[in-house]
Amino acid sequence: MGPPGAGKGTQAKAVADHFSVPAVSTGDIFRANVSGGTPLGVEAKRYMDAGEYVPDEVTNNMVRSRIAEPDAAGGFLLDGYPRTLAQVAELDGMLKAGEHDLDAVLVLTVDQEAVVARLLKRAEIEGRADDTEDVIRRRLEVYAEETEPLIAVYDERGIVVRVDGMGEIDEVQQRIFAALDDLQD
């Protein structure tokens, strides 16, 4: 978890590789559907372009079918999900049904101004439709309103691992591995 621009996607792939599990990124799946022009993509795009969340039901169903695929049977890493309290409840149900447990909720902490600068830079490089300044600000607001409260929920369960997300990609990656290794000891 972490605000837009915290580096979730980049770090998620590294962590997933390290543990030989698939990285399930709801943002990536939505973007693939948008590129492919599927009905899901057409629906998701409206929300994504405005910096709003795709409705829970759509997102939950997508995650449910993705984590039921054979490559996820031995575990998986979720990137960008859950993002709402309703998604937390749904995920709890899915995990129970699949006899999985959440081992850890990794939170990347970053400073807000740095995040905006990072996203504007990404906009130049990748040209994502949701990386314009107005949309970035809206995405940060939505994160603060809808997603940040989830950290407290998982804190109560004692599974939150906070890692400083500022600095070079490799540096952050080393911190993440160190924090997760501590957890396994």
Contact footprint for ligand AMP (CB under 6 A): 4, 26-27, 30, 47-48, 51, 53-54, 59, 80-81, 83, 87, 130, 139
Is 83 or 118 the residue whose CB approaches ligand AMP more closely? Answer: 83
Q: Looking up tokens 């699949």, which residue turns up? A: 98
81 has binding-site annotation: yes
Q: Looking up tokens 């943002």, which residue turns up? A: 27
- CA–CA separation, 56 vs 60, rounded Å? 6
Is 47 or 177 the residue whose CB approaches ligand AMP more closely? Answer: 47
Q: Is 8 a catalytic residue?
A: yes
Is 11 or 26 the residue whose CB approaches ligand AMP more closely? Answer: 26
**HSE toward the beta carbon, residue 33, CA cutoff 13 A:** 20
Closest separation in Å from C-beta 7 to ligand AMP: 11
154 has binding-site annotation: no
Which residue type occupies 18? H
Q: Is 139 a catalytic residue?
A: yes
Closest separation in Å from C-beta 97 to ligand AMP: 19
167 has binding-site annotation: yes
Nearest to 59 by CA among 27, 32, 106: 27
Find all residues with CB under 8 Å of 20, minimum gap 6, and list them: none
Is 48 or 108 the residue whose CB approaches ligand AMP more closely? Answer: 48
13 has binding-site annotation: no
Q: Is 122 a catalytic residue?
A: yes
Find all residues with CB under 8 Å of 93, minimum gap 6, and list them: none
- CA–CA separation, 142 vs 89, rounded Å? 19
Altogether, the residues listed in the chain come to a count of: 185
Summarize the annotated binding site as residue ranges: 5-10, 26, 31, 52-54, 80-83, 87, 122, 128, 139, 167
Which residues are identified as catalytic? 8, 83, 122, 128, 139
Summarize the annotated binding site for ATP as residue ranges: 5-10, 122, 167
